[in-house]
Structure 1
Amino acid sequence: MYAEVAGFYARQMRHLDEGDAEGWAATFTEDAVCWLSTRAEPMRGRSGLVAGVRTATAAIAAAGEQRRHMTGMFEIEERPDGSLDVRANTVVYATSANGESRVHQVCTCVDTLVRGTGPDAPLLVSYRRIDVDGT
C-alpha cells in the first residue's frame, strides 16, 4: 500500500509541477474539495481545481520561477470502507531563471483517498486539506 500511495503522489505532483491542470485535477474525484490555508475559500470539483492550478501556473510563470513539490513522510490509515486517510509533508522549492533555488513553502497535507472505477481502479483524492506552515 505504501508504494502505491507514494507512486500516486509522485505522479500527482509531477502534473502540478508541469502546469498540467487537467491531469492534476483528474487525480481527484469529480466532487472533491481542496482546502488551502492561504485561501479564503476551498477549490471545489475538478473545474475549480483546474482553475486554481491555471491561476497558480500563471503567477509562477510571471515570477520567472519553476516550482517542485517534494512529498513524503506518509502516514496511511485504511478505513473500514477501503478509503485511505493519508497525512504527508511537502516541501515546495522555487527555482529562478538563473538557477537559484529556495524553499518556497513547507506544508502538511491531509487527504482522503478513494478508489476510482474502471479496470485499474486508480486512487483519487476526495478531500484535501493543505496547511502551509506559518499561516
Structure 2
Amino acid sequence: MPVLTALLLAAASVRSDATLIVYREYAEPVLFAPTLLIDGMPVARLGQKRALAVALPAGEHRLELRWPMLASQKTARLQLTLAPGSERYIELNALAGFGGGSALVEQAADVGEQALARCRPVAAGTSEQLEH
C-alpha cells in the first residue's frame, strides 16, 4: 500500500465501518475548487491533485460536488452503498468547454492508489478548505 494511501486511511476514523476516498488528480477548470458534500453536508473543497479520506458508517450515501458559479460546470452527483469494512475510491472527472461536464466516478483500488500517489491530502471539515 502506498504511503499516501496509508496516511489517508489513518486520517479516517478507525471507528467507522467504511472508508470513502475522493480524489481529484486533474479536472477542468483548473482554477476552481468545487465543494464536496456528503449526505448534504459540506466536507471539503477539492483543488487540483488533492485527495480526501472520510470515515462513514456502512449504508447509503449521497455525494455531491458543487462548483463555484464562475466555473461554468454542472453539479456532479453519485449515490453509493458502502459495505462494512469497505474502501471505495471516487475520482472527480471534469472537462471544461463545449461537450464538457463533471462526474464522480468510482475507480478500482489499484487505479485509485496510483492516482493518490500524485495527490496531496485534504483535511475534511477544515474551515480553510471550505472558505476558499
TM-score (norm 2): 0.31
The structure with the greater share of residues assigned to helix is 1
TM-score (norm 1): 0.30
The structure with the greater share of residues assigned to strand is 1
Query: Larger Cα Rg: Structure 1 or Structure 2?
Result: 1
